[in-house]
């Protein structure tokens, strides 16, 4: 499947779900994308459509984004980090990473909390999980028949 790299829309990867195999491909394949992927120093997270269903995959584990998946997203102001977790133990994944606002100070995140959705992939994932209309729109958009025989 073809995924666009979020925050780097001009970069495109070919991705094999659950096998954790991906490689960058030519930008012209971007029109065939069925989702997006984001790389962090602890691995990757991908949001994509397969068989008309929206999935979140984090480091080889995936969850159906049906509004029932358990997500957590929180900032540690003192440490300047963000913690994102998905799933329920023992089938869960958690990532702790430098907060997007770390170099700007935490006030921006506290004053304008919706900024996290624009700056941090995992905050965006939480918005998708909470918004049925957005999940439906993404599923419809990424489910359109794709022409892959270039």
Q: Given this model, what pLDDT does residue 113 score?
A: 60
State pLDDT tens for residues 3-53. Answer: 888 777 678 888 888 787 888 887 666 677 899 999 887 788 999 999 999
- Measured between alpha carbons, how far is 76 from 64 in angstroms, rounded to an integer? 28
State pLDDT tens for residues 92-130. Answer: 888 898 988 888 876 766 666 667 788 889 999 999 999
Domain ranges across the chain: 2-143
State pLDDT tens for residues 86-100. Answer: 987 677 888 898 988
Assign 147 a pLDDT band (cuts: 50, 70, 90): very low
Distances (CA, A) of 4 to 55, 108, 119: 15, 28, 16
pTM confidence score: 0.83
Q: Given this model, what pLDDT does residue 148 score?
A: 41
Assign 55 a pLDDT band (cuts: 50, 70, 90): very high
Residue 144 has what DSSP assignment?
Answer: S
- Measured between alpha carbons, how far is 23 from 55 in angstroms, rounded to an integer? 20
DSSP characters over 41-70: TTEEEEEEEETTEEEEEETTEEEE-SS-S-
């Amino acid at each position: 499947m073809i995924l666009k790299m979020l925050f780097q829309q001009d970069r495109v990867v070919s991705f094999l779900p659950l096998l954790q195999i991906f490689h960058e491909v030519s930008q012209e394949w971007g029109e065939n994308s069925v989702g997006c992927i984001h790389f962090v120093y602890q691995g990757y997270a991908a949001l994509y459509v397969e068989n008309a269903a929206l999935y979140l995959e984090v480091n080889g584990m995936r969850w159906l984004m049906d509004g029932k998946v358990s997500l957590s997203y929180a900032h540690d102001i003192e440490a300047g980090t963000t913690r994102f977790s998905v799933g329920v133990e023992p089938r869960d994944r958690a990532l702790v990473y430098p907060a997007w606002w770390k170099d700007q100070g935490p006030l921006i995140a506290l004053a304008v909390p919706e900024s996290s959705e624009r700056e941090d992939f995992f905050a965006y994932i939480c918005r998708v999980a909470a918004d049925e209309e957005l999940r439906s729109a993404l599923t419809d958009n990424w489910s359109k028949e794709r022409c892959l025989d270039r």
